[in-house]
């Protein structure tokens, strides 16, 4: 199977919220071969904090995305440390305010200019990846045939925004924050950040079962210190702030004068809406309300005790199989 | 109706976890009149961050606790800023580690020594108050006839402990924390603390409805700044740490060699277990599992969209009525 990696230089990119991303660049990786009529292209954008390598696990012959049949392109969202991010810029502080409109516009250019792809068979996304999938469906109705939105919403809910505010506050509370940038790595801030994130991203049931003991951790403290903190510490704190702000402003309505309902009703892509039944921030209720507005959408909850991470790496063969079946059926339509 | 306020000096109190609370003092307030055979005494301990005045709202003739019939004693838990707390001590740092065993032992002395009460008709508690009610039932099986545990558990769950760890980390991340005490008010720490607390203590549904707009707040930021932050900032940061640690170590099992199940099975008080259906940290599942172990307990969920705060001040006439009915029925048995 063919794998390729590369990036596209986009020049100075005007941002939806105002301002310009200077010399912007998107980093990508592809799996498999684009067929002659370009009908087998699948886009797989990244989720919060993740780079494409963190998310490759589901691309394999018996995986959720099969690269022997589909040409799968992973694309890194702005702010994730690979595509253009505050940590790359000499002066990152002034308004690095990327919205998914900017991510998706740049992705459309990448596909067209680098691959000659005018229409995707599928955008598959988990979490912030699902947000980008929804934006694709609204912004490029002719550019995407199907979207699979796993554990994510088209518009960030008020309670989810509050979670993000608590994470942002955790970083900005660190002594290293000087009101403009971080003078040093925010050690204390990351400590709090990881604990907030861990409490929301897994379910109550996950902790009730103490599964981490079976995974070799000695107790909850050990699990947080070795499993959660390192994942977030891998990224620059300014990049975290950028990704949090993209998530906060996630709303497909912004391309229709703020009318989120109209944007959802405009979707023509075949849409799979797949929340986890124990997801605490992209709740079943929130996802169901959005699915009800999307014409012909399939609402198919994932019955999992893994919370938001039901759709995430290596957690559960059962969950992975359920997602694969749903995506297989979507791709067969 | 008679109201009295006072305190009891307990001397140096040895703590369950080791160490001594020097010159300990419990502050109380009573409503109504103790009858001749002392059979109408109701104890009402305080919840997290609250002092007795914050919780008086439910003591009134048509309220949940009727002082024209019952002699209601509010007692402030250690660490809440009124009863002995780190902020009162010259050198608070060394191990201010109060467990509910200590709170309840001190309360038993207060009742016996100041009021001559040997047996309570009821311990009513919400949240950390419910934790104390459970400890009463386990520690003094002859000392309490009934307990009403609203939105609280007898043992702090793992996921709830993680929430508390994130709160503790938020305060300790502040630049004012010097590893031993706070050199100043932790302004940044309180900012994060309030946002974490607000995200967990109300429900997703509460934020979905944006009820705070109806209450006169202009937006979520305004609501957090004016409604949540001031409540926590009222208390000393060291007192917060003390209360968090009491909550973390909440477990009726500690008085039975760590056997929580045996402790719950030993309860003889008539027990009302009343979780809120939308409580994110004292979940219906966790409360149901405990109720199943308590002989003859009544499990009666409160169907509310207010999350943990279903049992808290002035939020909902419907919820208050449901609690009042359940308590009335409990007291009638």
CB B61 within 8 A of CB B68: yes
The catalytic position among B85, B286, B308, B319 is B308
The catalytic position among B174, B236, B251, B279 is B279
Nearest CA in chain B to A196: B166
- Positions of chain B with pLDDT under 70: 92-95, 313-315
Q: Which residues of B touch A280 (CB under 8 A)?
A: 204, 280
- What is the spatial distance between Cα A100 and Cα B114, in angstroms, rounded to a whole number? 65
pLDDT attached to residue A314: 59
CB B108 within 8 A of CB B263: no
Rounded to the nearest angstrom, the minimum Cα separation between B244 and chain A is: 15
pLDDT attached to residue B312: 76
B241-A237-A43 Cα angle (round to 5)? 120
pLDDT attached to residue A93: 56
pLDDT attached to residue A318: 87
Nearest CA in chain B to A157: B208
DSSP sequence for A12-56: EEE-TTSSEEEEEEEEEEEES---TTS--EEEEE--TT--GGGGG
B192 bridge partner residues: none
Q: What is the dihedral of CA A100, A105, A109, A111, to 10 degrees?
A: 50
Nearest CA in chain B to A281: B204
Size of interface A-B (CB pairs under 8 A): 114
Nearest CA in chain B to A195: B166
pLDDT attached to residue A139: 98
pLDDT attached to residue B314: 59
Query: Per the CB < 8 Å rule, is A162 touching B285?
Result: no
Beta strand pairing call for A20-31 and A71-75: antiparallel
Rounded to the nearest angstrom, the minimum Cα separation between A314 and chain B is: 22
pLDDT attached to residue B149: 98
Rounded to the nearest angstrom, the minimum Cα separation between A305 and chain B is: 13
pTM confidence score: 0.96
Statement: A3-156+252-332 belongs to CATH 3.40.50.300: no
* Nearest in space to B83 (alpha carbons), one of B52, B58, B128: B52
pLDDT attached to residue A89: 82
pLDDT attached to residue A96: 74
Contacting residues for A312 by C-beta, under 8 A, at least 6 apart:
A47, A126, A127, A306
Q: Which residues of B touch A207 (CB under 8 A)?
A: 157-159, 162
pLDDT attached to residue A266: 98
CB A200 within 8 A of CB B200: no
Query: Per the CB < 8 Å rule, is A170 touching B162?
Result: no
Q: Strand, coil or helix: what is B61?
A: coil
Sheet with B3-14: list strands edge to edge: B3-14, B20-31, B71-75, B41-45, B122-126, B146-150, B270-274, B298-299
Q: Which residues of B touch A232 (CB under 8 A)?
A: none
pLDDT attached to residue B313: 57
pLDDT attached to residue A171: 98
Q: Is the pLDDT of residue A252 over 90?
A: yes
Beta strand pairing call for B298-299 and B270-274: parallel
Give me the interface pTM, i.e. the ipTM.
0.95
% residues pLDDT > 90 (chain A): 92
Superfamily of domain B3-156+251-332: Alpha/Beta hydrolase fold, catalytic domain (3.40.50.1820)
pLDDT attached to residue A92: 60
Arithmetic mean of pLDDT, A287-308:
97
Query: Per the CB < 8 Å rule, is A169 touching B191?
Result: yes
Q: Which residues of A are catalytic?
A: 127, 279, 308
* Nearest in space to B312 (alpha carbons), one of B323, B303, B301: B323
């Amino acid at each position: 199977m063919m794998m390729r990696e590369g990036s596209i230089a986009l020049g100075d990119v005007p941002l939806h919220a105002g301002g310009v991303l200077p010399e912007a660049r998107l980093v990508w990786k592809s799996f498999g071969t684009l067929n002659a009529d370009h009908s087998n292209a699948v886009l797989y954008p990244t989720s919060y904090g993740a780079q494409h390598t963190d998310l490759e696990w589901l691309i394999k012959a018996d995986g959720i995305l099969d690269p022997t049949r589909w040409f799968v392109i992973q694309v890194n969202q702005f702010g994730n440390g690979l595509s253009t991010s505050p940590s790359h810029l000499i002066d990152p502080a002034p308004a690095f305010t990327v919205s998914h409109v900017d991510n998706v516009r740049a992705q459309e250019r990448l596909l067209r200019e680098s691959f000659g792809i005018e229409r995707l068979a599928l955008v598959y996304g988990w979490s912030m990846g699902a947000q980008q999938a929804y934006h694709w469906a609204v912004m490029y109705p002719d550019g995407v045939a199907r979207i699979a939105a796993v554990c994510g919403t088209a518009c960030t809910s008020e309670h989810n925004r509050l979670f993000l505010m608590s994470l942002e506050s955790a970083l900005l509370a660190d002594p290293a924050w000087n009101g403009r940038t971080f003078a040093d790595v925010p050690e204390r801030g990351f400590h709090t950040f990881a604990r907030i994130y861990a409490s929301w991203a897994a379910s109550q049931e996950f902790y009730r079962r103490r599964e981490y003991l079976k995974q070799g951790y000695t107790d909850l403290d050990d699990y947080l210190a070795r499993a959660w903190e390192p994942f977030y510490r891998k990224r620059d704190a300014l990049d975290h702030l950028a990704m949090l702000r993209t998530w906060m402003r996630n709303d497909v309505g912004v391309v229709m004068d703020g009318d989120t309902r109209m944007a959802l009703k405009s979707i023509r892509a075949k849409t799979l809406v797949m929340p986890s039944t124990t997801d605490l921030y992209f709740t079943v209720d929130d996802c169901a309300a959005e699915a009800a507005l999307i014409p012909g959408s399939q609402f198919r909850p994932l019955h999992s005790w893994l919370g938001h991470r039901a759709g995430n790496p290596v957690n559960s063969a059962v969950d992975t199989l359920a997602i694969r079946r749903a995506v297989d059926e979507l791709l067969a339509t």
